[in-house]
Amino acid sequence: MGDALTRVATIAAALALMVGLPVRAAARTQTGAPASAETDGPAVEAAGAAGAAGEFELLPPPAPGDWRAALCEREQAFEEYASRYAPLALADKPCPPADRPVIRVLPMGPASQADAEEMVLLERFLQAYFSSRVLVEERRLPPASVRRRPSRGFGRQLLADDILREIGRDMPADTIVRLAVTREDLFASARRGVYFNFVFGTGSSDERAAVASSARYHQHYPDEPAGVTPGKRFFKLAAHETGHVLGLAHCARYRCCMNGSNSLAESDRRPVHLCPDCLRKVEWRLALGESDRAGRYRALAEVYRELGWVEEEAFVAARAGTPQARAQGDAPASSPRVEEPP
Ligand SMILES: [Zn+2]
Ligand SMILES: [Zn+2]
C-alpha cells in the first residue's frame, strides 16, 4: 500500500505488539480500557526552552512505547518534500480564496444529533488551518464493499484501506484532500494479510484520501492533561491526516500536530499547531505565501475562541501578533532553507 511517506497511518497500540513492545499496553487498549500512563513511561522534559505563548517546543527523546521508540522513521527534510510534491496552486500565486483547491469532508455512517454542529465547526477549523476551501459533503453510509470485522471493544471495525479506495473512486477534480470522518472504529492493513488491531485514522497522498475516527476519543486515563476533549482530539486528528495527504511525514523535531502517536496519551501530548518545518511544507504545497501566515493565525484564533480552546487561542494570537513571532516562524531554526521556486 505504498511507502511510509505516502501511506502513513496513525497507529495505536497494535504497533506495540508488532514490534515486540509490552503486550500489556496493546491488550488494554484493544479491550477498550483507558490507556495507562505506564504505557508511555515517565514524561521527559522538553529539550528546548519553551513555555511562553506562541513558542515552538523541541521534542524530548522518546519514552519507551512512544511512536518514535517503536518505529524508526526518517526525518523528512524540506528539500526532499519540495522535490517530491509540487505546489498545488490552481491559479496564480497566491490563489484567491475562490480558486483555492478544495478539501472535502465526507461524513460516513449514521448521523447523531451532535453531528451537524460538529461538521460546521470542523469545516471552519480546517478552513482556517489550511487556508483552503472546505466543503462538507452529504453523509453516506459505508459502502458494502468496505470490509468489516467484529468489535475490538469500540463497536464493529471498518477497514480503513477500503474506505480510502472507495472515496478515491469518485474524487472531484478540484479536490486536494477528501477526508472521511466516522464515529465507527477502524482497522488497517499492516502488510499483506496482517492487520493492526485498530487505527485512529490514516491518510494517503497517492489516493488524496484520508479517514479519521472518533470512536476511541471518549476514553480517559490517569493524569490526563487538562483541556483534553473528544472534539479537540478528533479535530487534531483530522488536521494530522490531512497533513499526510498533503505529503507530510511524521514530525520528529518539534512538538507538532504531525507527531506520530502510539497511544491516546501520546496523541494528547501532541499540540494542535504545526511546527515551523511542517507549516513551511503546507505553505509550499498550498502556494499560500508567507504573507498569509499572520492571517492564518488570526483566522485560527477566531475558530479556537469559538471552540473554547483557550491555550490554542493564546498560542496563535501570540504568533499572529508580534513581529518577533513572525520572524521566528519565517526562519525554521532547524532546517536549511532552499530557494523558493521560480
Ligand atoms: Zn500519522
Ligand atoms: Zn512538525
CA–CA gap between residue 40 and residue 266 (Å, rounded): 7
Helix axes 230-245, 115-130, angle to 10 degrees: 50
Ligand at shortest distance from the CA of 278: 2
Closest CA to 243 of 66, 2, 3, 10: 10
Closest CA to 106 of 163, 36, 48: 163
CA–CA gap between residue 177 and residue 102 (Å, rounded): 7
The pLDDT, as a whole number, for residue 46 is 34
- In the predicted structure, residue 162 carries a pLDDT above the cut 60: yes
For residue 59, report the distance from its CA to the centre of ligand 2, in Å: 10
Residue type, 341: P
- In the predicted structure, residue 4 carries a pLDDT above the cut 60: no
CA–CA gap between residue 172 and residue 209 (Å, rounded): 12
Ligand at shortest distance from the CA of 7: 1
Average of per-residue pLDDT across 170-176: 90
Residue 271's alpha-carbon distances to 65, 187, 309, in angstroms, are 19, 24, 12
The pLDDT, as a whole number, for residue 289 is 74
For residue 232, report the distance from its CA to the centre of ligand 1, in Å: 16
pLDDT band at 69 (very low <50, low <70, confident <90, very high): confident
> Which of the pair, 69 or 33, is modelled with greater confidence?
69
In the residue annotation, 79 being an active-site residue is answered as: no
For residue 308, report the distance from its CA to the centre of ligand 1, in Å: 25
For residue 93, report the distance from its CA to the centre of ligand 1, in Å: 29
| Residue in the block written with cell 507527531 | 259
pLDDT in tens, 76-127: 999 999 999 988 755 444 555 566 789 999 999 988 777 889 999 999 999 9
Average of per-residue pLDDT across 280-309: 91
Q: What grid cell was written down for 117?
A: 454542529
Mean pLDDT of the chain: 79
Does domain 7-21+85-216+241-286 sit in CATH 3.40.390.10?
A: yes
Closest CA to 200 of 222, 217, 224, 179: 217
Is residue 94 reached through a cis peptide bond, with omega within 30 degrees of 0 on the bond before it? yes
- Indicate the SS3 state at residue 99: helix
- In the predicted structure, residue 45 carries a pLDDT above the cut 60: no
Q: Which residue of the set 166, 184, 207, 241 is catalytic? A: 241
Domain ranges of the chain: 7-21+85-216+241-286
